Structure 1
């Protein structure tokens, strides 16, 4: 998950508040975003001249996968359990 800080810079004579992708931005105020929830928005803001965006490095934390485990995950778990030393 990558984190970013975005700041809206309103053009002169324009509204000081804008909403994009479900996030409200106020002129000059920094808003924190993350790639899990706002990945599409981070890409759009990088190319928008009215936003300053500072994107951080990927921290390696991923959302846990939902749903049933795949057959590959089941096989890997069974192999790990079989190779573990039995406790006496």
Structure 2
């Protein structure tokens, strides 16, 4: 008997890729600094800080977008009075 099944595949990261994570604790814009079969190292394009995590992303879609986004959490806020 056949059932509706969802299939997921880890995304094959490559250094230099610009990515945007839409939800979760790592949401926002990142640059892939390094990747192997177990870990991915991401760099914030604004602060330059790097973080290495176990692989966690799965590909959903690719589209044109501003990078880094103006709403990036590390983007300095310009206050005018």
Same fold (TM over 0.5): no
* Length-normalised TM-score, structure 1: 0.25
Query: Larger C-alpha radius of gyration, 1 or 2?
Result: 1
Higher relative contact order structure (alpha carbons within 8 Å, sequence separation ≥ 6): 1
